[in-house]
Each structure stands twice: as C-alpha cells, then as structure tokens.
C-alpha cells in the first residue's frame, strides 16, 4: 500500500520534473520585459540558493549584482560566474550593518542609477537537524526579519520607475505558515492578527516578534504557542511573510509607472549549507521559483506566497 508520505513525495517529484522542463523553455520576446540593462540584486549570494538565483538571472540576460557580507568570498563567487561569461558584478553587503547598506546604496546609485529587482535571500538558521535551539533567536530575527526590512527600505527609493513595475522577492519558508495542516503555530491570537491582511500593519509584525523575543528571554516561550521545531527561524519567516503582505499593500498605492510588486516564496528543503546539505532538492531547483517570480511577465501579482511556481496559502 502506498502511504501518504510516499504519495506526497511522488507528487513533489512530478512537480519538480515539470518545473525542470519549464525551465528549459525560453521566454518569448513578448514575455521578456527585461534587457541586459535590467539590474537585479541578490543578497547573501556567495553560496547556496542566492548564488544559484544570480546564475539563473544572469543566464536570462540581466545584469546581476551578487552581494555577500564577506568581500573575499563574494569576489570569488562572482568570478566563477564572470568567467562563465555571465554579466555579474559584485559588492559587499551585510544586511545587519546600516553602514554597509548605506555604502551599497551609494555604489548602486553611482554605478547603475537604479535597480529593477531585489531578491532578499540572505538568512541564518542555527537549528541543526531537528534541534530546536532558541539560543540565537535575537540573531535570527535580526537578520531574517529586521535585516530584510532594512535593505528593502533602503532600496525602494532606488527602484526603477517603469511600466512593468520593479520587483521585490523575499525568500521565506513554509515553516512560517499560518494556515492549514502544515502550520506549526498554536497561538490563535497571533495567527488571527497575522492572517487579517486588512488590518495587518508593520507595527503588528514588529510587536509579534518582540513578544516572541521577550518570552525567549524570560524562558516562557514554550507555553507561548510558538512553533515547536525550528522555532526562532519559523517565527522569523512568519514575520517576513506577514511583512511582504503589508509591504505589497503599501506599494500598491504608488501611481502607475512607479509600481513595485512584492512577493515571497519557499524554495523547498534544499541541499545547502543551511540544511547541512540534507535537503531533498538541489539549489538549482530551490532557486527556480524566485527567478520565475522576479521575471513574471504578468507584473500585477503582488502580496502573494509561492512554492514550486504556484501560489500557496500564507
């Protein structure tokens, strides 16, 4: 008898096969809104999914800025792609360091003037396997949530005004889901607040993560209804998911010609340093939905959550 785990594995493998095939189909001229002058920025791109998104976007003919918090490692990573003939540039960027963000923005302004795509990929996770350490909660929330918000805020004024709209893509995770059988969140009050997109604000998301961090500090988080595995990481991604919706709502008020579309996606469980290379898909497959979202010809899609090139529930 085929178990439900086998069935979902079968379904996932089939979808991944379909996507591998879709990736080989070139974009047609009318779908291609970008040129070699189109500039995409990827954070935390010296390795893993970020590096792969740079490679794929450059393969589609965009100019891609590979950023890394470590200068030497980033230069080396960019060199690999430059030697492969890709149009890839490098600049240092640590999303936790306001002066690094400022330097980066200044450099972009001077060298490129503006950007078209921002992919917020940089992230950390200190849970190994099924461990559930909250020891590094502060760092995880600071990097994954506040770091992401800070670079977005700094880059918005540098996003190109164009009829096809600029794009922000946040790399999050299904671990931060609020709804359905896969949700790890038992705290009904938090769920209700984060689910109510009409009244959701950045302040509510900030307050939610602050409350979590307070409970961690006080040692009471275990009875707080927070996810019981990958706790801090899941809370950080839940916050970025919620923030993506708030951001999309705010950006939708911009006039035509100045629109910025913001979406997020889960790459799946990917064989990268973050998972100790224990994932079940390659970085190439993990990067796919992010690249697809960044290049979406139908630009009016915003405030949504995706996986395997399909919309999923938050």
Contact set with ligand NDP (CB under 6 A): 43-44, 46-50, 68-70, 93-96, 121-125, 143, 147, 171, 173, 266-267, 269-270, 272-275, 279
Q: How near is the Cβ of 16 to ligand NDP at its closest, in Å?
A: 14
Q: How near is the Cβ of 248 to ligand NDP at its closest, in Å?
A: 19
**Structure-token pair, residue 212:** 């979590």
Active-site position among 145, 233, 243, 261: 233
**Structure-token pair, residue 163:** 């009829």
Q: How near is the Cβ of 176 to ligand NDP at its closest, in Å?
A: 9
Name which of 125 and 302 has its Cβ closer to ligand NDP: 125
Name which of 72 and 220 has its Cβ closer to ligand NDP: 72
Please tell me the distance from the alpha carbon of residue 47 to that of residue 49, in angstroms, as a whole number.
7
In the complex, which residue's CB is closest to ligand NDP?
A: 48
Q: How near is the Cβ of 70 to ligand NDP at its closest, in Å?
A: 5
Name which of 38 and 68 has its Cβ closer to ligand NDP: 68
Name which of 96 and 162 has its Cβ closer to ligand NDP: 96
112 is catalytic: no
State the catalytic residues.
233
């Amino acid at each position: 008898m085929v178990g439900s785990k086998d069935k979902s594995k079968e379904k996932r493998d089939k979808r991944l096969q379909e996507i591998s095939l879709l990736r080989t189909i070139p974009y047609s001229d009318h779908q291609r809104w970008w040129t070699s002058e189109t500039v995409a920025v990827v954070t935390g791109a010296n390795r893993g999914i970020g590096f792969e998104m740079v490679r794929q976007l450059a393969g589609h003919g965009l100019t891609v800025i590979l950023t890394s918090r470590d200068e030497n490692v980033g230069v080396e990573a960019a060199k690999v792609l430059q030697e492969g003939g890709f149009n890839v540039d490098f600049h240092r960027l640590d999303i936790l360091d306001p002066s690094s963000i400022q330097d980066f923005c200044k450099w972009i302004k001077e060298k490129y003037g503006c950007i078209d795509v921002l992919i917020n990929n940089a992230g950390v996770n200190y849970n190994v396997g099924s461990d559930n350490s909250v020891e590094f909660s502060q760092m995880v929330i600071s990097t994954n949530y506040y770091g992401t918000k800070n670079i977005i805020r700094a880059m918005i004024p540098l996003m190109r005004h164009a009829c096809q709209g600029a794009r922000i893509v946040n790399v999050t995770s299904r671990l931060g889901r609020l709804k359905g059988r896969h949700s790890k969140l038992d705290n009904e009050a938090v769920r209700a607040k984060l689910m109510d997109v009409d009244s959701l604000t950045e302040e509510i998301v900030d307050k939610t993560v602050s409350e979590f961090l307070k409970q961690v500090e006080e040692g009471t988080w275990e009875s707080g209804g927070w996810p019981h595995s990958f706790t801090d990481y899941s809370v950080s991604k839940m916050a970025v998911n919620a923030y993506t919706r708030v951001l999309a709502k705010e950006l939708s008020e911009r006039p035509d010609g100045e629109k910025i579309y913001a979406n997020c996606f889960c790459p799946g469980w990917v064989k990268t340093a973050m998972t100790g290379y224990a994932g079940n898909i390659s970085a190439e497959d993990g990067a796919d939905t992010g690249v697809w979202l960044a290049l979406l010809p139908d630009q009016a899609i915003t405030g949504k959550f995706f996986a395997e090139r399909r919309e999923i529930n938050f």
